[in-house]
Amino acid sequence: MTSVATPGLENAPTTHARLLAWVREMAELTTPDQVVWVDGTDEEWERLTQKLVDAGTFTRLEKKPNSFWCASDPSDVARVEDRTFICSVDEADAGPTNNWMAPDEMKSVMTELYRGSMRGRTMYVIPFCMGPVEAENPMFGVELTDSEYVVVSMRVMARIGSRILEAMGTDRPFVPAMHSLGAPLEPGQEDVPWPCSQTKYIVHFPEERAIWSYGSGYGGNALLGKKCYSLRIASAMARDEGWLAEHMLILKLTSPQQKTYYVAAAFPSACGKTNLAMLEPTIPGWRVETLGDDIAWMRFGEDGRLYALNPEYGLFGVAPGTGWDTNPNAMRTIDQGNSVFTNVALTDDGDVWWEGMTDEPPAHLTSWKKQDWTPDSDEPSSHPNSRFCTPITQCPILAPEYEDPKGVPISAILFGGRRKTTIPLVTEARDWNHGVFMGATLSSETTAAATGAVGVVRRDPFAMLPFIGYNAADYFGHWVETGKMHDATKLPRIFYVNWFRRDEDGGFLWPGFGENSRVLKWVIERLEGTAAAEETAVGHVPTPDSLDVSGLDMSEDQVRKALAVDKDEWRQEVPQITEWFEKFGDKLPSTMWDELEILKSRLA
């Protein structure tokens, strides 16, 4: 088919042959009105945010500089795990936890969806780099999208634009990340504020290292550098190359003796990573600095230690529950502006509000559904998965090491989930394999970060259930092998935490947030060999005296309940873990069955 030249397709600002050929192919398939190469400048940001304001997608905030309120289509508010696919050549490589379709079949389905899908819109070419572009092997990607919201959000979340395109040269490898809203415009058709399609596909080709996304504008479905590249595709790269791509925050902890430690922690979506990463300790003398709040890429250094790097450039954080008393550093970060707020409420004086920001809600708001809202309204003003999108460089406690391509040496890894019962406040693994078992059996109540039921306990191994880009049993094996291949004395020590245990009245047993510094203190004292622990059936838990609860408004009984290992509760976990492991058949590393046997015998 011949067509008149698409503006922007000729005279591209690069001679990268593979990139040019791919952009041309996708433009010919999706037939946008024009192709625009994203340069990442302030002028471009001005132009695109104004375009979004004019389209009714964005409302400029009076009270925060260069910031915008945005309400999505009510059907497009979270990751869609049932529409997410790992299209490996062999179905067994996707494993029992991922949706799968043969790559050829998926490509023919999606090619028909993409045909003409950008009609009446602009195709933006976003060159991006996950992690510093100064790295030895910069991790390039290029996202094609017909969404201005995606361009603007990608500018916050990743390093993008001309400087990245330049660094890609003529032939550097990159991950092609194709995105379309699936909402073409016919001539004269008026656009809606949040175009999207009822048909959604979030698709990964791990062997090809390619991403195809269709139908959604929501963060994790559309900002393809984040979950799609940095976790699903990167986890497959990491398996092949001997490193780890994980759903983890990274923080720096300084003790009163001025010793510094780096800690990584994997909690499922909406289970406390951003909050822990920015924590303001309540115990004197301790200091936390932030390196990352969602994703850690970890590689072994020449010294045998595991170094973690945050590949992102921004924070895409859960808004509800974020307030001056829970996460003041997040509040300070967004207060500087340059942020996009999606599906929160708008105040009458042009600011944002959400449940948990302040104790007293404003008397009147515009809800995320663009309806009048008062404290008497039946529904919350903000969607439970509403988000702030803000530059990480605005975080007042960002650690300077953040920009170091080499990363930071990790001393401890925490796994954690949201469990009302059973899981103690903190448990230390006996050794690496026991820690891998903790990761592989991690369980949590589902949250609003993905569509579907909320509050249902499920296994979420390593907080990576929706993000492992290959067979989860092979992924467990990769962790076991990682332990075998490296000096055990230099490996991070592994802990399992649960901030969400409840008492009989349904209230949280542990105050959480800044008080979690007490748990971090115990972790560090374990590393230093100064804190006592009790050996239980499930690992080492603090003795009543070794956890610093001084000045905390908590009864001895409450502390005991938060730390308790109840053998009866744990015995109920065993059949669930057995069932979980059986899913994986022969692929499950035998060490996982060995660890389960150890647990069973200790519970007997």
Gap between the Cα atoms of 514 and 498, Å rounded? 14
DSSP string, 172-225: ---EEEEEE-S----TTPPPPSS---SS-EEEEETTTTEEEEES--SHHHH-TI
Residue 220 interacting with ligand SPV (CB under 6 A):
yes
Please give the angle made by the CA atoms of 479, 96 and 197, to the nearest 5 degrees. Answer: 110
Q: Please give the Cα distance from 98 to 96 (Å, whole number).
A: 6
- Choosing from 70, 271, 389, 395, the catalytic residue is 271
Tell me the C-alpha distance between 595 and 383, whole Å. Answer: 40
Identify each DSSP E strand in 84-132 by its residue range.
84-86, 122-130
Q: Out of 197, 274, 433, 443, which residue is the one contacting ligand GTP (CB under 6 A)?
A: 274
> CA-based Rg of the chain, rounded to a whole angstrom?
24
CB of 445 to ligand GTP, least distance (A): 11
Q: Does 69 bind ligand SPV (CB under 6 A)?
A: no
Find the binding residues for ligand SPV in span 446-475 (CB under 6 A). 449
The answer to whether residue 316 forms part of the interface with ligand SPV (CB under 6 A) is: yes
Q: Look at residues 151, 99, 107, 103 and name the one whose alpha carbon lies nearest to residue 127.
A: 151
Residue from 32, 103, 311, 317 that binds ligand GTP (CB under 6 A)? 317
Cα 356–chain centre separation: 21
Q: Does 200 bind ligand SPV (CB under 6 A)?
A: no
Choose from ligand GTP, ligand SPV, Mn ion, none: what does 79 bind? Cβ within 5-8 Å by kind.
Answer: ligand SPV
Tell me: does residue 37 bind ligand GTP (CB under 6 A).
no
Q: Does 291 bind ligand GTP (CB under 6 A)?
A: no
Spatial CB neighbours of 443, under 8 Å, sequence gap ≥ 6: 417, 419, 423, 457, 458, 459, 460, 573, 576
Whichever of 269 and 471 has its CB closer to ligand SPV, that residue is 269
The binding site for substrate consists of 79, 218-220, 269, 385-387
Is residue 126 classed exposed, middle or buried when 0-12, 13-18 and 19+ CB atoms within 10 A define those classes? buried
Minimum Å distance from CB 392 to ligand SPV? 13
Residues 221-250 that bind ligand SPV (CB under 6 A): 226-227
- Contact window for ligand GTP (CB under 6 A) among 144-152, 164-172, 421-429, 511-519: 511-519
Of 176, 202, 245, the C-alpha closest to 98 is: 202
In the complex with ligand SPV, the residue whose CB is nearer, 29 or 276, is 276
Of residues 201, 237, 206, the one with CA closest to residue 88: 206
Strands (E), 255-313: 260-266, 287-292, 296-300, 306-309
For Mn ion, the binding residues in 270-299 under the rule CB under 5 A are: 294
Q: Does 388 bind ligand SPV (CB under 6 A)?
A: no
> Token pair for residue 23?
């952009």
Return the bridge partners of 365, or none.
347, 373
The reply to whether 449 sits near ligand GTP by the rule CB under 6 A is yes
Residue 254 CA to residue 198 CA, distance in Å, equals 48
Nearer to ligand GTP, 70 or 270 (CB): 270
Residue 155 has a CB neighbour count (10 Å cut-off) of 27
Q: What's the one-letter identity of residue 546?
A: S
Query: Closer CB to Mn ion, residue 270 or residue 531?
Result: 270
Any catalytic annotation for residue 271? yes
Q: Which two tokens stand for residue 30?
A: 């999706």
Q: Whose Cβ is closer to ligand SPV: residue 449's or residue 531's?
A: 449
> Could you say whether residue 347 binds Mn ion (CB under 5 A)?
no
Q: Residue 269 interacts with Mn ion (CB under 5 A)?
A: yes
Do 97 and 112 form a contact (C-beta atoms < 8 A)?
no
Number of residues that bind ligand GTP (CB under 6 A): 21
296 binds ligand GTP (CB under 6 A): no
Query: What is the closest distance, in whole angstroms, from the C-beta atom of residue 228 to ligand SPV in the complex?
Result: 9
Q: Which is nearer to ligand GTP, 164 or 266 (CB)?
A: 266
Residue ranges at the known binding site: 79, 218-220, 227, 247, 269-275, 294, 385-387, 418, 513-516
Residue 81 engages Mn ion in binding (rule: CB under 5 A): no
- Binding span for ligand SPV by CB under 6 A among 92-100, 220-228, 251-259, 376-384: 220-228
Q: Is 219 in the site for ligand SPV (CB under 6 A)?
A: yes
Task: Give alpha helix (H) positions in 64-133.
Answer: 103-114
**Footprint of ligand SPV (CB under 6 A):** 79, 219-220, 226-227, 269, 294, 316, 449
**Footprint of ligand GTP (CB under 6 A):** 267, 269-275, 293-294, 317-318, 320-321, 326, 449, 499, 508, 512-513, 516
**Footprint of Mn ion (CB under 5 A):** 269, 294
Residues with a catalytic annotation lie at 271
